Structure 1
Amino acid sequence: MRGTSGNLSVVVGTSPLRLAVTASGLDKGEMTSSDVVLIDASGAALSQGVPSAEAGLHGRIAAVSGAGAVVHVHALAPVLAAERWPSGVVLRDLEMLKGFGRSAHDDVVTIPVVPNSQDMTVLGDAFEAGYRADTPALIVARHGLYVWGSDLHQARHRTECLEWLLRFIIET
């Protein structure tokens, strides 16, 4: 994650939903345990600190998808892909799709693209409207990429694979 961009969350409780999310405005490469804020499903802080501005979307993704972790990055490839394909980014017949949890061949994967908003309820509604259980990712136009998984390791792995896939289709 470049500079202070992006954020991470991990589900720490499900009834009620509770997430540990990175605090706002911090360099994610230099974080300590005090740079994490406990939030509820709506993104409201339950502990000391200011959660990421996107905490509410993290909560919504976890609630709808059942994910154990969400990774949000401000990578260039998804932003460019959303500019080129604003109705969704179609991926097919690429070996790296396996790392994203899909088949490498004879499988069409469409990554939903939603318009950016500073209102997490609006973004959450857009996410939910395009949600597909078999596609653990969302591109927010002119903003970045959200990818989720059963845990932080899987979410990070899927993020890396998807970023590669998006770079490939942009460059070809």
Structure 2
Amino acid sequence: MTGTGTADAPRTAGWGAALAEEAARFAALGWMAGTSGNLSVVTDRDPLRLLVTASGLDKGELSARDMVPVDGEGRAVPGTGDSGKPSAEAALHARVVRLTGAGAVVHVHTVAAVAVGRRWPGGVAFRDLEMLKGIGRAAHDETVVLPVIGNSQDMRVLGDRLEAALNPLVPGVVVAGHGLYTWGADLREARRHTEIVEWLLELELAEERGR
């Protein structure tokens, strides 16, 4: 089952609506200002197929039709309709899925993520926080390091950096000067992970200001 044929149109439309809803939620928080950021969901594993938000559109105004089916390399799947151009970062979404087995990927451009990437380019450590439970880690006696990687306009280079820095304990990575990537088994879990990691980043910045 490819998830791109006529028989799968209602299923794909359902995922498209879910992506549009999540994008609107993040845009309302100011995490996807203007046309920034992108979301994806896995629609099939063999062969790998994802549905990705189209490039150049306001993320607070997307509809189910503003999503593009892409293959395991992030390339638009031929013959799947005119949904626009996939995000330039679709290839990185696909790379994350291949590396982690995630079912959904979220990329947001938050102020906290950009600031943390500049302040702690080697990664940022969290410990003894109840909110760590939200990403499946212990609230006490465990140090969790969120990776920070350098940015690149070449998605293959950026993907290599992400793969090298990937921490299996944390479903996310900060791209310096750019934003935050998070993922989960499905869209709901990816959203939760995004909210938790963003909270942790904001706390770290608040504590840094208070030192």
TM range (shorter): over 0.9
TM superposition shift of 1:132: 2.3
Aligned residue in 1 for 2:45 = 14
Decide which of 115, 139, 148 is 1:80's aligned counterpart: 115
> Helix, strand or coil for the counterpart of 1:30?
coil
For 1:18, give the aligned amino acid: R
Question: TM-score under structure 2 normalisation?
Answer: 0.79
Residue among 3, 23, 35 paired with 1:4: 35
1:79 maps to amino acid: V
Distance 1:27 1:170 in 2: 28
Larger strand proportion, structure 1 or 2?
A: 1
TM-score (norm 1): 0.97
Give how far 1:2 is off: 1.6
Query: Are 1:44 and 2:72 matched, yes or no?
Result: no
Query: Which structure 1 residue ranges, 4+ long, deviate > 3 Å from structure 2?
Result: none
How much has 1:79 moved relative to structure 2? 1.0
Aligned to 2:178: 143
The equivalent residue for 1:108 is: 143
Q: Helix, strand or coil for the counterpart of 1:117? A: coil
Structure 1 CA distance, aligned partners of 2:94 and 2:150? 19
| CA RMSD between the two structures | 0.9
Q: 2:169 and 2:49 mapped to 1: Cα distance? A: 24
Per-residue CA shift, 1:3-27, capped at 9, x if unaligned?
A: 1111100000111111000000111
Partners of 1:96 and 1:80 in 2: CA distance: 20
Aligned to 2:152: 117
Task: Name which of 168, 177, 181 aligns with 1:133.
Answer: 168
Structure 2 distance, partners of 1:82, 1:93, is: 22
More off after superposition, 26-35 vs 155-164:
26-35
Question: Amino acid of the residue matched to residue 147 of structure 1?
Answer: T
The residue that corresponds to 2:12 in the other structure is none
Report how many residues are paired: 172
User: Structure 2: any 5+ residue segments left out of the alignment?
Assistant: 1-31
Identity %: 58
- State the distance in 2 between where 1:161 and 1:127 align: 20
The one-letter amino acid of 1:13's match is D
Q: Which amino acid aligns with 1:8?
A: L
Higher RCO (C-alpha 8 Å, min separation 6): 1
Structure 1: 5+ residue runs without aligned partners? none
